[in-house]
Structure 1
Amino acid sequence: MKKDINWKRVLIDYTMITLGLFLVATGVYFFKMPNNFSTGGVSGISILLAAVVPISKATLMAIINMLLLVVGFIFLGTSFGVRTLYGSVVLSFFVKFFEDIIPLSKPMTDQPLMELVFAVILPAVGSAILFNYSASSGGTDIIAMILKKYTALDIGKALFCTDALIAVTSGIMFGVTTGLFSVLGLLSKAVVVDNVMEGINISKCFTIITDKPDEVSEFIHSIGRGATKHDCVGTYDNKERFVVMSVVNRAQAKQLRDYIKQNDEHAFVIITNSSNILGKGFRTPM
């Protein structure tokens, strides 16, 4: 039986994906390209090629992305992924659009370290949003998909080595300072993406030991979440109690914490963070 498409969910997803692509394009065009920060990927390749080919970086990036799309369709076919196709095309469009309306011939400031921060953070936040919605910006991700399908290589290590080679090459072509900034950006990128993804998906897990399980559960329902209840025995006084478990977002966590503090002063509450929750009502990267 064919499942009905939730068009509202699709619209929200693609709005967030577009926002992620916009952030990636902003970081790449305004901060990476003017400074020749080559931290890997298609943007890094286009920066290197622009030094020897009389074509703009944005145009080279679009050409490489389109070529990789063609290669992806040849080797991956329909398993290529609509969101990867959308990401590759829209990212190339944003970068070329920026080049047409705000042409840059040099960095916007004389503070390369500050510009490196934005060159890393903006694409990292954008990439984290994309990963969170099962999308990508295409580019070298397409190569990774092909290698994963046809080889037994460790794709993560292979891509990191490729990116490292691009970063080192930038030092040869543009000088030691640019090369060191590129390597620093490459090393920072993965850490920032991981931390941003965790921040986006963070949830609060409550384990509540209480004498009032029904009241606590009812309040949890009132803020839009479910709960699991089971009985237990305290080993110190051998009294029977109940454990109520629930997972909520940050705003709901404050409401639940305040409710328990005001209405169940004898409750024992354990609150932990988690960024990997599977189940109805939660979104987590797979």
Structure 2
Amino acid sequence: MKKKLQSFIMMTFATLIMSIGTYFFKFTNNFTFGGITGLAVLVAKTGVISAADFSFIANMLLLVVGALILGKKFVAKTAYCSILLSVTLSLLERIYPMTKPFTDQPMLEVMFAIALPSLGSAILFNIGASSGGTDIIAMIMKKYTSFNIGRALLLTDVAITIAGFFIFDMKTGLYSCFGLAIRSFLIDNFIESLNLSKYFNVVCSRPDPICDFIVHELHRGATVCDAQGAFSGSKKYIIFTALNRQQAVKLRNYIKEEDPAAFILISNTSEIIGKGFHSI
């Protein structure tokens, strides 16, 4: 129950971040990168419907199509985020209507239009969730064609982004292309940062105090191997363990005080498969 509550809070937080970045920075500048919200910008140009309302209708229709084609299991994982995103965009449009961008700096605006939705998407991907939209189109394409999800997403996003050159002007189209190019890199970097952990190799003569601290104070596991010093020939031990960033600081400080002669190698890792760690 605790894990489900944490997942629910993270999904809500990530979706709200996406909504803020999309409404306040993407819609007002007519940036067309990023799936359904990018398509909504194009449709809004016709004046028939607003970008927020089109996003709501399109996402609801895609959810229905996804349920019919991909099954109820798919909807269970996607419906909440997709509905929350759509409803939030519509509410923001009515509560805080915007007729122009916040600033007269397009580059500053495009950076926020990229960064906020990318962070939200990274959090969702990291916990196995999705905001729907073109993700649904991509998964349907994968089911009936030879495209994988990555290629299908790229295909739909590129088509929508290129259309911005014809609907708007060259400057807006170029900013949209820039956003599309940077967005995927940011998502990958955000995911890596969210999962960043520290891998320890500790070479020491007395492993017991260090292992006790890891197990009882940090509540983590460790592996101890016998070793021998190449220069001195004396018996040594190597302790292997993986910790989050806060735990890594505590262990490093403890070893410095408890065994100043210990040799410590600390490296960054963002993909750990095993109990107690989230695998991406």
Q: Shared topology, TM-score over 0.5?
A: yes
CA distance in 2, matches of 1:223, 1:190: 35
CA distance in 2, matches of 1:163, 1:78: 26
| 2:230 is the counterpart of 1:235 | yes
Q: Which residue of 2 aligns with 1:3?
A: none
Give the structure 1 partner of residue 115 of structure 2: 121
Q: Confirm whether residue 245 of structure 1 aligns to residue 240 of structure 2.
A: yes
Q: Give the alignment's Cα RMSD to 1 decimal.
A: 1.2
1:75 corresponds, among 69, 72, 84, to 69
3-state secondary structure, aligned to 1:87? helix
Question: Of 142, 156, 177, which residue of structure 2 is paired with 1:183?
Answer: 177
What per-residue deviation string (whole Å, max 9, x for no partner) do you get for residues 5-61 of structure 1?
A: xx1211110111000000001110000000000113000111111112511110000
Partner SS for 1:229: strand
Pair 1:64 & 2:58 matched = yes
Among candidates 222, 245, 257, match of residue 262 of structure 1:
257
Q: Which residue of 1 aligns with 2:31?
A: 37
In the alignment, what sits opposite 2:92? 98
Runs of 4+ in 1 over 3 A off after TM superposition: none
Cα offset for 1:269?
Answer: 1.0
Find the counterpart in structure 2 of residue 202 from structure 1: 196
The residue that corresponds to 1:4 in the other structure is: none
User: What is the rounded CA distance, in whole Å, between the counterparts of 1:123 and 1:144 in structure 2?
Assistant: 19
CA distance in 1 between partners of 2:184 and 2:87 (Å): 25
Partner secondary structure for residue 272 of structure 1: strand
Q: What is the CA distance between 1:81 and its match in structure 2? A: 4.0
Are the counterparts in 1 of residues 63 and 75 from structure 2 also a CA contact under 8 Å?
A: no
Distance in 1 between residues matched to 2:123 and 2:106, nearest whole Å: 26
Alpha-carbon distance in 1 for matches of 2:107, 2:23: 16
Aligned pair count reads 279
Measured against aligned partners, the alpha-carbon deviations of 1:57-94 in whole angstroms (never above 9, x if no partner) come to: 10000011011111101101123141211111111011
Q: TM-score, normalised by structure 2?
A: 0.96
Q: Match of 2:98, SS?
A: coil
Deviation at 1:162, TM superposition (A): 2.2
Instruction: Give the aligned partner of residue 146 of structure 1.
Output: 140
1:209-228 paired onto structure 2 within 5 Å? 209-221=203-215, 222-228=217-223
Deviation at 1:237, TM superposition (A): 2.5
SS of alignment partner, residue 207 of structure 1: strand
| CA positional deviation for 1:207 | 0.8
Answer yes or no: is 1:193 the counterpart of 2:187. Answer: yes
Q: What percentage of aligned pairs have identical amino acids?
A: 45
